[in-house]
């Protein structure tokens, strides 16, 4: 029996929908079941694969080990759907809880950012576990220069700067704490959920969910007073 016949048609269509969305192919793009994912017409690069793997994991609630990427599971659309089908029911929930060893001396995390002080949108770093997660905050007073022209008289923190602050924290979460090894932005998918009116302290979190080569994908959340104001994913590349 062929791989196509063994795969649930509804699941196969879900995989195609994720491909159309993540690769920005358009809702009407034709994706044959036997279309190769690596090489061929699609020829996904490492960032494409990283984002696709993250989307598949989130959508179906499974984990895709790095060792199967590039092997039979990613030969084509059908084999990917078959891998998902076989692992959906068997997906476990036990993530590793082993705590990393604490560094002997905490780095000056803000100095590891590739930005100068004038373009840092993190006021305080609370905690960083290199390569895994980070938390911090951005205190917005209301007298910053960018508020002069951003809705004068009723200032709102620019959404693009909220996203920048999350991206900067993601760079710290993805780093290994070594000078010159900062994270450079590769992709952003962040949804703005509520306006932030100064003065305010924006709490920031970033957690690495997927690593592939030099690329790291982080789940990021910004909140004010316990209410989420922005959330999504940020991909960074470690130089």
- The CA-atom distances, in angstroms, between 90 and each of 24, 72, 189, 207 are 30, 19, 29, 25
148's tokens: 């002069």
The secondary structure of residue 146, as a DSSP letter, is G
Residue 150 catalytic?
yes
Burial 170-207 (b: 16+ CB within 10 A, else e): bbbbbbebeeeebbebbbbebeeeeebebebebbbbbb
206's tokens: 């970033």
* C-beta separation of 231 from 191 below 8 A: yes
Cα angle 14, 234, 219 (rounded to 5 degrees) comes to: 75
- The CA-atom distances, in angstroms, between 44 and each of 47, 68, 69, 70 are 8, 15, 12, 10
* C-beta separation of 202 from 223 below 8 A: yes
Q: From the candidates 30, 59, 127, 150, which is the catalytic residue?
A: 150
- Residues that are catalytic: 150
């Amino acid at each position: 029996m062929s791989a196509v016949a063994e795969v649930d048609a509804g699941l196969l269509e879900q995989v195609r929908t994720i491909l159309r969305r993540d690769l920005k192919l358009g809702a009407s793009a034709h994706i044959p079941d036997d279309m190769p994912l690596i090489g061929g017409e699609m020829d996904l690069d490492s960032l494409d694969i990283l984002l696709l793997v993250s989307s598949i994991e989130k959508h179906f609630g499974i984990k895709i080990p790095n060792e199967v990427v590039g092997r039979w599971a990613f030969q084509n659309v059908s084999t990917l759907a078959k891998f998902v089908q076989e692992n959906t029911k068997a997906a476990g929930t036990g993530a590793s809880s082993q705590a990393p060893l604490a560094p002997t001396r905490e780095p000056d995390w803000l100095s590891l950012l590739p930005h100068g002080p004038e373009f840092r949108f993190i006021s305080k770093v609370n905690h960083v576990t290199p390569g895994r997660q980070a938390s911090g905050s951005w205190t917005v007073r209301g007298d910053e220069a960018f508020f002069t022209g951003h809705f004068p008289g009723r200032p709102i923190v620019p959404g693009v700067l909220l996203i920048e602050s999350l991206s900067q924290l993601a760079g710290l979460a993805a780093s290994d704490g070594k000078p010159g090894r900062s994270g450079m932005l590769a992709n952003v998918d962040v949804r703005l959920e509520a306006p932030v009116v100064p003065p305010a302290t924006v709490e920031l979190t970033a957690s690495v969910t997927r690593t592939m080569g030099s690329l790291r994908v982080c789940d990021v959340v910004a909140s004010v007073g316990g209410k989420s104001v922005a959330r999504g994913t940020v991909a960074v590349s470690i130089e």
